[in-house]
């Protein structure tokens, strides 16, 4: 297969998969009644967003953005080295940690709600009006 078609396929695979993950997650969040299931769905959404960001940063035939000794050797020999975009990777590192923080707080809230109402079903926890 030529380079161009492969690129086309990869475009659809990566963008399509990550957006599908986001939509599947959203579907779970909006239709599921179980609180833990809702948090699980959100973690799928987060994964989708992260994959999307990383795919945006990829550059064809790029190497990881690390000037390791072997790469420095290549540079000294005059071979040009193309590195992938490091910024989305830094952003995703931040996003993963933030996602973990939110998940932890959400799960703690679920435990407290369960002790209070003895259920994890969102329909049975309705002391407050929406």
Partner 1 sequence: MTTLLTALIIIGALILIIVSIYVVSHKDLLVATIASSIISLILSAFYFVLQAPDVALTEAAIGVALTTIIFVVTIKNTKREEE
Partner 2 sequence: MKLKGVIIFILLAYIFFILIGGFLSVQFGKNRMNVAKAYIEKTPKDLQVANVVTAVVVNYRGFDTLGEVTVLFLASTGLASILFRRREIHTELNPRRRSVQASRIVQVAGKALFPLMILLGGYVFIHGHLTPGGGFQGGVIIATGYLFLLIAYRKFAVKHNTITWIESLAGATFAGLGIMGLILGKDFLENFMLTGKLNDLLSGGIIPLIYIAVGFKVAAELTGILDTLLSISVDVNTNSKNNNNE
Partner 3 sequence: MVSPIYFIALPLLTAFLLPLFGKIHKSLIRIIPGLLFAYLAVNAVVLLMQTSVDKPIITEIAGWAPPLGINLMFTPFSGFIATVISLLAFLVWAYSYLFKKVEFDNAVKYFVLLMLIVAGSIGVVITGDIFNQFVFLEITSISAYSLTAFYRGRDGAEAAFKYLIVGSFSSVFILLGIALIYGHLGTLNMADIAANIDKIPPKLKVLIFILLFVGFGIEAEMFPLNGWAPDAYSQAPGPIGSVFAAMTSKAGLYALIRMIYTLFDISSAYKTLLIMGVITLVFAETIALRQEKIKRMLAYSSIGQIGLIMIAFGLNTQLGIFAGLFVLFNHAVIKSLLFLSASFLVYNSKVKYISDLEGMGKQMPLTALLFSLGAFAIVGLPPFSGFWGKLYLLMATANKGMVVLLALILSVSIVEIVYYFRVIHRLYFREYTGKYQVQKPRWNAMAAMLILGLTIIVVGLYPDLITSYIQQATDALIDKQNYIHSVLPNLGLN
Q: Is 104 in the site for partner 2 (CB under 8 A)?
A: yes
Site residues for partner 2, 37-96, by CB under 8 A, read 52, 55-56, 58-60, 62, 64-69, 72, 82-83, 85-87, 89-91, 93-94
61: left (phi over 0), alpha (psi -120 to 50) or beta: left
124 near partner 2, judged by CB under 8 A: no
Contact assessment for residue 35 and residue 122, using Cβ atoms and an 8 Å cutoff: yes
Nearest C-alpha neighbor of 59 from the set 95, 86, 79: 86
Min CB(23)–partner 3 separation in Å: 11
List of residues 6+ apart from 113 with CB closer than 8 A = 35, 120, 125
Distance of CA 119 to CAs 28, 31, 39, 122, Å?
Answer: 19, 18, 15, 8
Give yes or no for residue 51 binding partner 1 (CB under 8 A): yes
The span from the CA of 40 to the CA of 4, in Å, is 37
Residue 39 is a binding residue for partner 1 (CB under 8 A):
yes
Q: How many residues bind partner 3 (CB under 8 A)?
A: 31
- Residue whose entry in the numeric block shows the structure tokens 């957006």: 19
Question: Residue 22 Cβ, how far from partner 2 at the closest point, in Å?
Answer: 8
**Contact residues for partner 2 (CB under 8 A)?**
7, 10-11, 14-16, 19-20, 22-23, 26-27, 30-31, 52, 55-56, 58-60, 62, 64-69, 72, 82-83, 85-87, 89-91, 93-94, 97-98, 100-102, 104-105, 107-109, 111-112, 115-116, 127
């Amino acid at each position: 297969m030529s380079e161009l078609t492969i690129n086309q396929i990869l475009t659809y695979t990566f963008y399509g998969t990550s957006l599908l993950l986001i939509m599947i997650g959203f579907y779970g969040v909006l239709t599921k009644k179980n609180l833990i299931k809702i948090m699980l769905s959100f973690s799928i959404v987060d994964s989708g967003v992260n994959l999307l960001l990383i795919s945006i940063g990829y550059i064809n035939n790029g190497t990881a953005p690390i000037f390791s000794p072997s790469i420095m050797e290549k540079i000294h020999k005059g071979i040009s080295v193309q590195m992938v975009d490091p910024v989305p990777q830094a952003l995703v590192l931040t996003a993963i940690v933030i996602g973990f923080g939110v998940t932890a707080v959400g799960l703690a809230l679920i435990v407290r709600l369960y002790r209070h109402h003895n259920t994890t079903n969102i329909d049975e926890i309705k002391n407050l009006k929406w």
